Structure 1
Amino acid sequence: MRLTGSTGISGNPARICGIGLEEYIRKVEAFHGYAAPGMILGGFMVDLAVAQMGQGILFDAICETPKCLPDAIQLLTPCTVGNGWLRILSLGRFALVLYDKKGGEGARVYVDPSRLAPWPMARDWFLKVGPKEKRDLEELVGILCKMGSGPLGVQRVRVEPGFLRLSRHREFSICSRCGESYPNDDGPVCLGCQGQAPYSPVFPLPGK
């Protein structure tokens, strides 16, 4: 679903990582498929997090939810799942961390539910109150654009050294069962052959 332009954001001077709101929404629709409310709120979160990082600092990202927010990070920063600079940890919280690649110092941006009181519709959406299909997407997006970073909080954090080390290159071996490469520290065979793959092959592997 694409917005019709009646969200009331026209004339809103707010910017997200230097991008005007209307342009940002167009980018969201192209990248994410539609102007998801989580992408709108996520844009303001990324903008606030980037502002906490000093000039010239190379940062990585942690996202505490797999829903919407990772795409906002990938759209607005160099951090992606594919290049390894974004890691998604399903902690169940709509929050993100940007941190210095070397030292681990950074900023965590989160949504403070107590600050959502002035925006009941946004609060109900965020807390999953009521059926999703009854929400007016365009009205909700307009509200999220108006509230901007209002409900957001910032924490200074330091990423644990052990987590920083996890981003280093790992050694690989060939799995004795499937013949594919996998990280050595996953065990004697790959995780797929340990039964963690959510599927079963329909046809035999070539040469097996």
Structure 2
Amino acid sequence: MTKLTPEQIQAAVSFHGHHCPGLTIGLRAAEYCLKEIGSAKDEEIVAVVENDMCAVDAVQFLTGCTFGKGNFIFRDYGKAAFTFFRRSDGKCARIILDPDLCADLRTRMEGAARDSEEGKKLRQEMIDRLMDAELEDVFLVSIPNEPMPQCARLHKTIPCAQCGEGTMETRLEEVNGLRLCRVCASKAAAQK
């Protein structure tokens, strides 16, 4: 059963725009982080997410980890997995949604149209199951395989030699002796 307050849940739903199974996975992942690792006012907690689904909105909103602060890192692996690090003492955990928890519902949802009454009923059933389960039954927990990411660093902004737009120095690519932004570099490569 979730220990998040109704106010926390509603605020995350309002931030995301709707309540859905994906957001619920993120609510529970954020709950795990808050319980076991802590929350971030600045960069003291780092979240590494392995998907770009609805869940990441809840993780950002509730943990305080954000792209802008550099303590929210996206890895495009397509997994419902979340890794949390606490900088002060190195405490960390990687959690991944237990595939067995809602397997039966996922199978039934495949045959139901998203906006059909059956689809809505199954999505609500999944939300309820995720929210009602004990946290240790929602996720498989392990030690992360990756080291804690470095603190965010500031880099110089340099104009792209092609378009002139200011680009972070570490994102420029050398093409024919010119320092180009990635957009211009990919256009130059396509013209070859």
TM-score using structure 1 length? 0.70
2:26 matched to which residue of 1? 42
Partner of 2:13: 29
Which of 135, 146, 167 is the matching residue for 1:159? 146
Structure 1, unmatched stretches of 5+, are 1-12, 197-208
Q: Are 2:166 and 1:181 equivalent residues in the alignment?
A: yes
Pairwise CA distance, 1:23: 2.8
The question of whether the paired residues in 1 share the 8 Å contact of 2:33 and 2:39 is answered with no
Report deviation, 1:159. Answer: 3.5
1:78 aligns with 2:64: yes
State the shift of 1:146 in Å. Answer: 1.6
Match of 1:191 in 2: 182
4+ residue segments displaced more than 6 Å: 54-57
Residue pair 1:70, 1:88 contacting (<8 A) in 2 also: no
Q: Which amino acid aligns with 1:59?
A: I
For 1:14, the equivalent position in structure 2 comes to 2
RMSD, matched Cα: 2.9
Alpha-carbon contact 1:40-1:145 (below 8 Å) kept: yes
Structure with higher helix content: 2
Query: Match for 2:111 among 130, 151, 156?
Result: 130
* Counterparts of 2:132 and 2:22, CA distance in 1: 14
Contact 1:106 1:158 in 2 (8 A): no
CA contact (8 A) 1:49 1:108 kept: no
- CA distance 1:191–1:65, shift in 2 (3 Å): same
How far apart, in 2, do the equivalents of 1:177 and 1:55 lie?
Answer: 42
CA offset at residue 179 of structure 1? Answer: 1.5
Of the structure 1 ranges 96-105 and 144-153, higher mean CA displacement relative to structure 2 is found in 96-105
Matched, 1:88 2:74: yes
What whole-Å deviation, never above 9, does each CA across 1:7-63 have from its counterpart, x for those lacking one? xxxxxx6322xxx2x334422331111002111121111211332227999211111
Provide the identity percentage: 24
